[in-house]
Amino acid sequence: MSKCIFLDRDGVLNEDRTDYVYRVEDFIIPTGVVEGLRMLKNAGYLLIVVTNQAGIARGLYSRTDVMRCHQYLQDQCGNLIDDIYYCPHHPDFDSQSLLRKPDSLMLEKAIAKYNIDVSQSWMIGDAPRDIQAGKRVGVRTVHITHKIPELPVGDQQAPNLLEASKMVVNAAC
């Protein structure tokens, strides 16, 4: 079985914005993200992005835009990410979907596809819905709080992905 890090995208792998991040020129990768991803990959984890992309349902951008941003991220980090799952739905604009976090279908699909051992896996996200999705499938969680102290909702908390990566690798030792 494989061990995995599930990663939210906006606010974890790239800077979040008040509007949607769907153009490569707006896709800003914070300092330490690539190093954190490399650290997790070197520790033997699969890296799988699970992201809500409601802007698709709202008609603001396309699936192609999402994949263009993902390819940019892959190019910047040396293709460390193993897969990306995204939910294009929003209940106010098209349909309900179990893919949409805090539901866990994106994670469940990846667990089945990659034979993931949830007891050795983690979800890293910056929103309560990310942590809830992780808890639903039984993985440990790290809440990226950006500003400590912020009320943590995960098993652990960290200010950014690099610090979260250090926690995960040290917890595995």
Query: Per DSSP, which regions of 26-153 are E strands?
Result: 46-52, 83-87, 122-125, 140-144
CA atoms within 13 A on the CB side of 57: 16
- Separation CA 8–CA 127 (nearest Å): 9
- Which residue of the set 8, 103, 126, 130 is catalytic? 8
- Which of 109, 99, 111, 7 has the alpha carbon at shortest distance from 53? 99
**10 counts as catalytic:** yes
**92 counts as catalytic:** no
- Separation CA 11–CA 15 (nearest Å): 5
- Which of 109, 26, 7 has the alpha carbon at shortest distance from 69? 26
Answer yes or no: are the C-beta atoms of 79 and 35 closer than 8 Å: no
Q: What type of residue is 111?
A: I
- Which residue of the set 10, 65, 103, 130 is catalytic? 10
Show which residues are catalytic: 8, 10
